[in-house]
Structure 1
Amino acid sequence: MRHWMIPALAALFLAGPAAQAGERIFIAGDSTAANYGVDRYPQMGWGMALACNLDGTVGVENRAMGGRSTKSFIAEGRFDAIAKDIAAGDTLLIQFGHNDANQAKEERYTPLPAFRINLLRFISMAREKGAQAVLLTPVAMRKYNPDGSIIDSFPDYADVARTVARETATPLIDLGYDSRVYVQGLGAEPAKAYYLHYGKEAGYARWPDGIADDVHFSEIGARAMASLVAARLKELNLPVSAHVKPLPAANPPTLGWPTCP
């Protein structure tokens, strides 16, 4: 493939299919869901691969951004940007928690009561616009307890999301649970391939000394997580569910960025 074609293909992949209002999935979240440029390959967020689990009639507006919590997402105007663009019939997937829990960074840290209020704000905005809000619990990291089980990532924030979903009758995708079960099933060593674990010999210019990152996803990790999200989105029987065609999460293909099977 000619290198000059890569940016154009990338733009098409990230934008997804052209879709009218009422035919779009918006994603509000953090780096685990975010889009990345070809210069960051093989790093991918699950939101990049979600389009591969749709029938081609639904567009994906991935507004997730690295390092954002509900607090900073709102403070930077990203919430307002979604509110401006989202319309009746659209779907809003809301996944936060990783950065809300980061007490070392004041601009990100969101205490649990404020986290609850912020989630309610996202839900209220979606409903006011006639869109369907869906809450997601924080996706799992590849970190283990002494007994070899996967650590429950950000359980307090996940519990707030579950409680808010129940109290507001908002659909919930428990991605924290699903991803934890999935990664546990892979085994500790095989699971490295689903996150950013590469030695110097991999030759990635961005990581000349290699990388060992148990938070962010490789291509196959992002594809697997997107399939978990899609499978649950299908089960929710929302209007958008009719357009979801979940790919198997097991043994996702490595196709090279940016390509769908």
Structure 2
Amino acid sequence: MRARRFALLAAAAALLVGAAPAPDPAPAPVLPGFGKILIASDSTASVYGEDRYPQTGWGQMLPCGLDAGTEVVDLAMAGRSTKTFIGEGRWDGLMARVQPGDVVLIQFGHNDAYKAKPERYADPATTYRDNLLRFIWQVRGARAIPVLVTPVGQHMFGPDGKAKANFADWSAVMRELSTPTQTPLIDLEGLSRAWLDQTGEAASRGYYLHAPAGAFPGFPKGIDDDTHFSELGARRIADLVAGALKELNLPLSGHVLAERPLLLRTTPLGRRGCQ
């Protein structure tokens, strides 16, 4: 009798267990929210003092396209390639500041392509590629988001009237790495060349660092530079970067202003601020 009662109780318990709802699935891991932007790059993105006005880096103007309180840490440095950025300890210094949720913009190529200075040169298929992979994995290891940015175009045009792709091999490596590593990419070379083509060679000249003698204290002899930007040029390139960031669907994307009038100015402010 007792054995039969025990069997009935066991059967009832089994029915109750079978009828019980399945436990809720484990919650998805909570990813860190957006923190700040850090920029690893060269002179085209770096910060310049008032003594160098109108020379301006696009990274210097990027905050003007973001909502108030979004922090941009611009660690770009003139003359640096992936090779020297690592060799001088600048990359390690940047990584020491990276926190979960940060976005690291990585734009190199101008100096990596400079064969006349072997200390800078990084072969696109080997050294440059390996350095980019190191950047990607280390940023990911810090639970931050790497974004590859192809080298920005120069004010140089071919016989067909189109802006030249002077860093095509280095840009190609970035594009090639983006897919298998699932790394967000801003094709700034393509975006800037399309903008140059649309604007035209003559009209776009003022966006680069061209000034006659005596126009600016920092350049008493004048300057003709087809690589670096004036205030207006830096604003316009920063707008291209900001627009691309908004389209990447990252946590950062919601902090990019839908309208960026300060970056799309047609006359210089005579300063680099966002006020």
TM-score normalized with structure 1 length: 0.89
Distance in 2 (alpha carbons) for counterparts of 1:89 and 1:42 = 33
In the other structure, the counterpart of 1:256 is 270
**Could you say what secondary structure the match of 2:201 adopts?**
coil
Q: How does 1:1-261 map to 2 (within 5 A)?
A: 22-112=34-124, 113-202=126-215, 204-245=216-257, 247=260, 250-260=264-274
Distance in 2 (alpha carbons) for counterparts of 1:213 and 1:232 = 26
Distance in 2 (alpha carbons) for counterparts of 1:225 and 1:36 = 16
- Return the letter of the residue paired with 1:233: L
- Preserved CA contact (<8 Å) 1:179 1:228: yes
- Preserved CA contact (<8 Å) 2:53 2:218: no
Q: 1:183 to 1:250 in 2, by over 3 A?
A: farther
Distance in 2 (alpha carbons) for counterparts of 1:87 and 1:253 = 37
- Provide Cα deviations, 1:31-69, integer angstroms capped at 9, x if missing partner: 000000111111000000000011013100000000000
Distance in 2 (alpha carbons) for counterparts of 1:252 and 1:164 = 36
- Provide Cα deviations, 1:143-165, integer angstroms capped at 9, x if missing partner: 01112111012000000000111
Distance in 2 (alpha carbons) for counterparts of 1:47 and 1:66 = 12
The alpha carbon displacement at 1:212 in A equals 0.6
The alpha carbon displacement at 1:206 in A equals 2.5
Q: 1:237 to 1:258 in 2, by over 3 A?
A: same
- Provide Cα deviations, 1:83-128, integer angstroms capped at 9, x if missing partner: 1110100000000000000000011000111100000111111100
The alpha carbon displacement at 1:187 in A equals 1.3
**Could you say what secondary structure the match of 2:133 adopts?**
helix
TM-score normalized with structure 2 length: 0.84
The alpha carbon displacement at 1:134 in A equals 0.4
- Preserved CA contact (<8 Å) 2:42 2:77: yes
Gaps of 5+ in 1: 1-20
- Provide Cα deviations, 1:161-200, integer angstroms capped at 9, x if missing partner: 0011112010000000000011111111111110011111
Residue identity over aligned pairs, in percent, reads 49
- Preserved CA contact (<8 Å) 2:35 2:99: no
In the other structure, the counterpart of 1:12 is none
Distance in 1 (alpha carbons) for counterparts of 2:138 and 2:68 = 27
TM-align CA RMSD:
1.4
- Return the letter of the residue paired with 2:110: H
Asked which structure has the greater CA Rg, the reply is 2
Gaps of 5+ in 2: 1-32
* Misfit runs of 4+, over 3 Å: 248-253
- Preserved CA contact (<8 Å) 1:223 1:252: no
- Return the letter of the residue paired with 2:232: I
